[in-house]
């Protein structure tokens, strides 16, 4: 009997989605958020995400940072679509031995992120898992994106430049608990330059760039020397660590982009790291995080 281990997350999702009705979403499974047209002035964005103790955070992590991360991961996905989040639901599945203090600090961390991005909690669920089981935190959210502003992973074109915000690598050293979602930056990009394709970097460039290129029907060529490294990190860590939550996007070459970016966001690095190519041409990357990849 085939097991999940070794299958790979992308293959698993494709197999499961084929078994159920998927509706008529503007963008569905495989993008950072689902995009639904409900006939309103804007398109609706829907997102769900989960954190598992021992996978996304360790038992000794500051619960306030875990709470920040739980919300910020979802905000980052809304940014990647060119939109903005509005309402959140939170489900906690915890062992009964979890301290009330831990849960309260977790909610304080979430609240800090809610305040930062102007979103609110509207509901959720709490339930118990057997003693010895890992804590599981599930976050769902709704939001909006203007009809002309939505950006998916599938719009890239041959010849488009590939850009990345910030510096990469270092999540395993703790950066994954204190990152800043690039919501403001994504909204600015969409307004003034409209990327052809965009996603956030959750599983590492080595995993995510091939996903974006494949969704766009393209190959890619990268300049490894241009990859922006976090302090103390090497190229392998920058490509494979994951949980950078920076923006990866493509658009036709624009001499004005970097100039205007440096004026608007002088503290945040923006780097051109390559170009989209014909399908089958260019580089190959391996590594990065995959929940059901080979260990």
Taking the chain (295 residues) in consecutive chunks of 10 residues, what is each chunk's mean pLDDT?
78 81 70 92 96 95 98 98 98 97 98 98 97 97 96 97 97 93 98 97 96 97 97 96 97 94 97 97 86 63
Asked, for residue 209, whether it belongs to a domain, the answer is yes
Q: Are residues 141 and 40 in the same domain?
A: yes
86 and 165 part of one domain: no
Is residue 292 situated within a structural domain? no
Range of the domain at 133: 28-146
Where residue 218 sits, what CATH number does that domain have? Answer: 3.90.650.10
The number of folded domains in the chain is 2
The CATH number covering residue 130 comes to 3.30.1330.10
Both 142 and 174 in one domain: the answer is no
Task: Name every residue whose Cβ is closer than 8 Å to that of residue 75 and which is 6 or more positions away in sequence.
Answer: 85, 113, 117, 119, 181, 183
Q: Are residues 81 and 119 in the same domain?
A: yes
pLDDT of residue 263: 97
Separation CA 263–CA 243 (nearest Å): 27
Q: pLDDT value at position 146?
A: 96
The reply to whether 216 and 263 lie within a common domain is yes
pLDDT, position 295: 47
CA distance linking residue 284 with residue 220, whole number of Å: 8
**Single pTM value for the model:** 0.93
């Amino acid at each position: 009997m085939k097991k999940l281990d070794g299958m790979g997350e992308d293959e698993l999702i494709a197999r499961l989605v084929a078994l159920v009705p998927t509706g008529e979403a503007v963008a569905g499974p495989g993008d950072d958020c689902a995009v639904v047209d409900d006939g309103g002035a804007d398109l609706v964005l829907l997102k769900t995400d989960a954190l598992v103790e021992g996978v996304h955070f360790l038992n000794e992590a500051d619960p306030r940072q875990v709470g920040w991360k739980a919300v910020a991961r979802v905000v980052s996905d809304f940014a990647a679509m060119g939109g903005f989040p509005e309402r959140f639901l939170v489900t906690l599945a915890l062992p009964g031995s979890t301290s009330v203090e831990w849960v309260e600090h977790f909610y304080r961390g979430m609240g800090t992120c809610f305040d930062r991005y102007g979103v609110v909690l509207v509901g959720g669920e709490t339930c118990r898992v057997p003693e010895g089981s890992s804590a599981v935190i599930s976050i769902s959210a709704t939001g909006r994106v203007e009809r002309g502003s939505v950006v998916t992973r599938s719009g890239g074109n041959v010849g488009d430049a590939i850009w990345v915000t910030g510096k990469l690598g270092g999540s395993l050293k703790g950066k994954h608990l204190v990152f800043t979602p690039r919501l403001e930056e994504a909204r600015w990009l969409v307004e003034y330059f409209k990327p052809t394709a965009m996603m956030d970097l959750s599983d590492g460039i080595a995993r995510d760039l091939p996903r974006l290129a494949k969704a766009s029907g393209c190959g890619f060529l990268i300049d490894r020397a241009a990859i922006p490294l976090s302090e103390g990190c090497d190229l392998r860590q920058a490509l494979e660590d994951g949980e950078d939550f920076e923006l990866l996007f493509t658009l036709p070459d624009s001499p004005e982009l970097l100039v205007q970016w440096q004026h608007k966001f002088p503290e945040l690095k923006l780097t051109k790291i390559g170009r989209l190519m014909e399908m089958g041409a260019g580089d190959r990357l391996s590594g990065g995080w995959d929940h059901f990849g080979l260990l």
